[in-house]
Amino acid sequence: MPETYYEIISFTGHVQGVGFRYCALQVSKEFEVTGFVKNLPDGRVHLELEGSKAQVNAYVAALEERMHGHIRKTERNSRRREAEFQGFAIR
């Protein structure tokens, strides 16, 4: 199975209780990405994405633009791996 681009992303700020996960789901429909988003107990939002590097970068840029004012910090870690996700989900 071919490898794909994969990122783990954490968003810090006022990102829970503002429709962030729903927005992440809606934005995913505009790009060729798969993965999931979930709230973390410490108040951050955790996002895992797979797709081409260009699609992942475009997705993150679009999400940051739509949630501007809520995100204080974005932490991104990437690597290549075999694809594991099908579709995009809120967990």
Which residue of the set 39, 57, 66, 76 is catalytic? 39
Domain boundaries of the chain, sorted by first residue: 3-90
Region 3-90: CATH code: 3.30.70.100
Residue 2 has pLDDT above 90, yes or no: no
Distance separating alpha carbons of residues 59 and 72, to the nearest angstrom:
18
26-49 pLDDT, tens digit each: 999 999 999 999 999 999 999 999
Instruction: Find the mean pLDDT for residues 8-25.
Output: 97
pLDDT attached to residue 87 = 97
pLDDT band at 85 (very low <50, low <70, confident <90, very high): very high
> Could you give the CA distance from residue 59 to residue 33 in angstroms, rounded to a whole number?
8
> Please, what is the end-to-end C-alpha distance for the chain in angstroms?
26
Asked if 21 is an active-site residue, the reply is yes
User: Which pTM does this prediction carry?
Assistant: 0.94
Q: Cβ distance 52 to 31 under 8 Å?
A: no
Q: For residue 79, indicate whether it is catalytic.
A: no
